[in-house]
Structure 1
Amino acid sequence: MSRPPRPLLPLLVALGAVAALVAAPGARPAAAAISCSDLSTPVLHRVKPASGTGLLTTSTNEAARAGSAYGFTDDRGAAFRAAATARPGLVGLHRLYSARSDDFLYSADAADVRAAEEQGYVDQGVRFHVSATASACLTPVERWTRGGRHQMVTSPASTTALAAAGWRSEGVAFWARPVAVPATGSAGLVSRPIATTTGTTFSFAAVPDTQMEVISAGDTRLTNRSSWVLQQKKMSFLLQTGDLVNWDTPGHEQWAHAKRGLAPLEKAGLPYTFAVGNHDTMATGVGGSARDATRSNALLRDTETLNSYFDAADFRGVGGVFERGKVDNVFTMYTAGGLRWMVLTLEFCPRASVVAWAKKVVASHPDYNVIISTHYYLTKSGGIGTTNAGYGDTSPEYVWKNLVRPYPNVKFVFSGHTGKARKARVDTGAKGNKVYSFLTTMHDRDTNPTRVVTIDTKARTLKTSVYAPATKKTWSAYTETLKGLTFVK
C-alpha cells in the first residue's frame, strides 16, 4: 500500500517485524522482574493478503479502519497480550514504517531505531510494551521475513505456513503474554464440566440441517424432535451441525421459529449447541441464494441476528467463546460415561484465528474427549473438503491438519452442509489415534432426521442410527456399531 495518511499512522500497529530486539546484538534485557498481570492488553493480528504484510493493534476500531481503508482484511484474532503503558521490567517497542517497502518494524533499541531510519523507515514512537527476556508465563514471538517485509508469529501452524510460502525465520524477537482461553464463570460460562448422566453408557443427539423445518410457523418438526430427545434415556446433550434456519428476513421469523423449536431443551435443562451454517448468516438471502455474491465472505461472519436470539446461557455448559457476546465459536464441557467431554463448535470454514484459538482450547484440556461440530467438514462422497466452499476462510482440510490430526483427545467430528448422510469415516491422528467423522445432512422436507449416538466407555463401543420421530422412520443404511474405541481420562 502507499504510505497511509498521517492521521491514520498513529492508529496502525504492524505485525511487521521487530528489528533485532532480542535475537540481534544490542538488545537489552529487562532491568527488573516483570509482573505477567501487567501484560493484559490484547494485541489484535491482521494481515494484508495482497502483500503478506502484518498488522498489530490494541484497538478494534484501529483494526477495522486499517482493514477497510488499507487492505488488512485477514482477521487472525488476538496474537498475544502486551502492556499499554510502561511497566517495570518491560521494554517499549518503537513502530517504524517504510513507504518504499510497505513494511513496519518494531525495535526497543535506540541503535536499531537509528539504523532503520537510515534505511528509510519513519519512527512513529512507542506503541506498546513487551519483555526482552523469557519468563514462564510468556510465549516467544518470532520474526519472519520475505522480500523486505516482515511478520511476527506465535503459532506453530503459522510458522509452518510461512515456511511453505518462502518466508525465513529470524528467530525469537521478544516475549509476550499468550492469549488465554476466554474467562469462565460469568455470562453463562462455566469453569467446571456439568454432570449429565451416570454410569458408563450415555447418548447424545446429532441433528442435521433443520432449515426446512422453520420456514412455516405451523411446522412443528423441530419442537417434536426436541420433545422426543428429552424422552430418551441417558441423553446427555444435543449438537446441531448448522443451517438451523434457511434465511433471515426483516422480521426474523425463522429465528423465532427456531428458538421456539429448541425451547423444550432449554426448559428441561438439556445442554445443546448449534454450529453456524452459511444459511444462518447474512451471506444467504431470501430464497436461499447469495445475498450479495461480491461480499459473501464478509457477510458470512455477520451473525448479529443469530446472537440476538441465542447466548451461552441458552446452551449450558459453555466453558469459553472465541468472541465475547457471540456463540459462533464455543466450547461446552460435560461429564458422561464416567469421562469428561467437550463439544467444540466452529464457524463455517473457520478463520485461521478461530482455528488457532481452538488449538489452545484443545491443548489446554488434554483430559477431555473432544467432539468437533462444524457445518462443513466431509464432502458428499465422504472425503475431507479441500476448499472454502465459496464462503469461508480456511477449509476442512486446514481444520484436519491444524486442529483434528495433531491432538489425540479429538475423537469425533460431526458436519452437514453437503450430500446426505454416511457411515463413519475413520482417520488416523498424529499419535496413531483414530478419529471418527460423521456426515448427516439430509435436507428433509417431510420429517425430522436425528442421528443418535450411544457410547459405552467401558465396552469401548459406539452405536449410531438415524431416526425421525415425526414419522417414526429409520434409515437403516446409516446404522452401525464401532468397536475398540479409546478415550482419554
Structure 2
Amino acid sequence: MNVKPIYFLVVSLFLASCSQKARIILLPDTQTYAEKFPEIMESQLNWIAKNEKEISFVLQQGDLTQNNNDKEWIAVKKAFSKIDNKVPYVLAVGNHDMGSGPGKYADVRNSAAFNSYFPFKEYAKAPFFGGSFEQEKLDNSYYLITTGKIKWIIITLEFGPRNEVLEWADQVLGKHQDRLAIINTHAYMYDDNTRIGEGDKWRPQAYGIGKDSAAKAVNDGEQIWNKLVSKNQNVRFVFSGHILNTGVGTLTSINEKGLPVYQMLANYQEGVKGSVNGGNGFLRILDLNFKKKSIKVRTYSPYLNEYKLEPTQNFDLKDIKYNSIIK
C-alpha cells in the first residue's frame, strides 16, 4: 500500500485548517505585577512560551510598569525575554511608562526608560517590523504579520496619541490597504462600552501632556475614532486597557465605509473592581476562525489556571468581516 498520498492529504488538510485560524493574546496593564508580583507576570509569559506553536502574536496594552523605574523595567524585560524569537509581540506605552521621572505619570511625554529597556535597534531587526513614527523609538510603530491567508498590519500608539501621530498612522494605513488592521493603544475604550471622551475619568487630557497643543495635542478614544479609525476601512480591531472601574468594555461600531470595527477594553490591574494581586495573571485569549467568521473571547489566568466565566469576560463574536476592503 502506498501511504504517501494519504500522508500528504493529511498534511494538506492540517495546513489548510491552520490557515483558517489564528490566536491572539491580549496582555493588558502589567504594572502591578512589575511593582509587586513579578512572579505572576512571569507565569503569563511562561505560559505563552509553552504554547508558542498555538499563538500567532501577543499584544500588550501599555502601563508595563507602575512607577517607570529600573527595578520594574528589569522585571518586565526579564518576563518578555521568555518569548523573544518565539512569539511576535507588540508593546504599548501607557501613562505610567512615560514622564519626567519615576512616579511622574505622563506629566511630560518622555519614554526614555521604555526605549532603553526595549531598544529600537533590537526590535527593528524582527522580520515583521514595519517602521515607526520617530527614529530610535518604538512608542508609535507598526508591524506586518501574516496568519494563514490573513495579512495584518498592527499599529501601536502612545498614550493619548498626538495629532501628528494620528496623521502618520493614517498615512501608514493608507499604504497598506490590503492588510487587515489592528490598533493597539493604552487609552481608548471606557468601561461603559463607549469610547473615552469628555467627562470620563483618566482621559489623556487630564494629565500633564494634555496641555500640549496643535500638532502635539493629545487625543482620547472618541477623537482617535473620528480622526483615524472610522476613516480607514481596513481597521477592524482596536484593543486598549488603562480604565479602572470594572476594567472591561466591548463595542462594535460601523466605520465610514459601512464596515464593523470591534473595540475591546480589558484591564485587571490593582484598583479594578474585584482585582486580587493586581489581576491574578488574567489575560485575554482571542481565537479567530476565518472560515466560520467568528472570534471566541476567553479570559484566562495561567497563574491560577482558571477562566473568568462572566458574559463580559467570556463571549463569542460572529459574522466577523475578515476582509480588509470592500469596494
TM-score by length of 1: 0.55
Residue 178 of structure 2 corresponds to residue 367 of structure 1: yes
Q: Name the residue aligned to 2:47.
A: 228
CA distance in 1 between counterparts of 2:238 and 2:306 reads: 25
1:270 aligns with 2:87: yes
User: Is 2:319 the partner of 1:484?
Assistant: yes
Larger Rg, first or second structure (1 or 2): 1
2: CA distance, partners of 1:198 / 1:438: 25
Q: How does 1:36-435 map to 2 (within 5 A)?
A: 198-216=18-36, 219-232=38-51, 233-249=53-69, 252-266=70-84, 268-282=85-99, 285-286=102-103, 290=104, 296-297=106-107, 299=108, 301-312=109-120, 313-314=122-123, 316=126, 317-387=128-198, 388-391=204-207, 392=210, 393-419=218-244, 420-422=246-248, 424-435=250-261
% identity of equivalent residues? 29
CA gap of 1:463–1:284, structure 2 versus 1, over 3 A, is farther
Aligned with 2:291 (options 427, 447, 458)? 458
**Amino acid in the other structure paired with 1:409:** N
Change (3 A) 1:461 1:206: same
Residues 423 and 479 in structure 1, CA contact (< 8 A), matched pair in contact too: no
Q: 1:283 to 1:482 in 2, by over 3 A?
A: farther
Structure 2 CA distance, aligned partners of 1:208 and 1:427?
22
Whole-angstrom distance in 2 between the partners of 1:413 and 1:348: 14
Query: How far apart are 1:219 and its partner, in Å?
Result: 2.6
- Equivalent position SS for 2:35: coil
Per-residue deviation, residues 390-447 of structure 1 (Å, max 9, x unmatched):
1241221111001110111100000010034435311011011000111101115421
The alpha-carbon deviation at position 382 of structure 1 amounts to 1.9
Contact map agreement 2:153 2:179 (CA 8 A) in 1? yes
CA distance in 2, matches of 1:454, 1:280: 29
Structure 1 counterpart of 2:67, one-letter code? W
**1 CA distance for matches of 2:100 and 2:158?**
13
Letter in 1 for 2:173: V
SS of structure 1 residue aligned to 2:49: helix
Which residues of structure 2 form unaligned runs of 5+?
1-16, 199-203, 211-217, 270-274
Query: Residue 319 of structure 1 contacts residue 332 of structure 1 at CA under 8 Å; is this kept in 2?
Result: yes
Corresponding residue SS for 1:414? strand
- Kindly tell me: are residues 337 and 461 of structure 1, through their superposed partners in 2, closer, same or farther at Cα, counting changes over 3 Å? farther
**Contact 2:255-2:261 within 8 A present in 1 as well:** yes
Q: In the alignment, which residue of structure 2 is the partner of 1:35?
A: none
Instruction: Give the SS at the match of 1:214.
Output: helix
> In 1, distance between residues paired with 2:224 and 2:173?
13
Deviation at 1:269, TM superposition (A): 2.6
* Counterpart amino acid of residue 315 in structure 2: E
List per-residue Cα deviations over 1:441-484 (Å, max 9, x = no partner): 11154211110111111111111111011011211121111111
Structure 2 CA distance for partners of 1:314 and 1:422, relative to 1, 3 Å:
same
- Between 1 and 2, higher relative CO (CA 8 Å, sep ≥ 6) is seen in 2
The gaps in structure 1 that reach 5 residues or longer are 1-196
> Which aligned segments of 4 or more residues in structure 1 are displaced greater than 2 angstroms?
230-234, 283-286, 311-316, 419-424
CA distance in structure 2 between the aligned counterparts of 1:434 and 1:311, rounded to whole angstroms: 35
Q: 1:284 to 1:401 in 2, by over 3 A?
A: farther
Structure 2 counterpart of 1:264, one-letter code:
K
What does residue 281 of structure 2 align with?
Answer: 448
Alignment length, in residue pairs?
Answer: 280
SS at match of 2:286: strand
Q: Secondary structure at the match of 2:38?
A: coil
Counterpart CA distance in 1 for 2:196 and 2:143 is 25
Q: How many angstroms does 1:486 deviate by? A: 1.1
Matching residue's letter, 2:300? Y
Deviation of the 1:314 alpha carbon: 3.5
- C-alpha deviation, 1:223, in angstroms: 1.6
1:180-202 CA deviation, whole Å, 9 max, x = no partner? xxxxxxxxxxxxxxxxx942111
Q: Which has the higher helix share?
A: 2
> For residues 136-175 of structure 1, what are the alpha-carbon distances to aligned partners after superposition, in whole Å with 9 as ceiling and x for unaligned?
xxxxxxxxxxxxxxxxxxxxxxxxxxxxxxxxxxxxxxxx
Query: Normalized against structure 2, the TM-score is what?
Result: 0.81
RMSD: 1.9
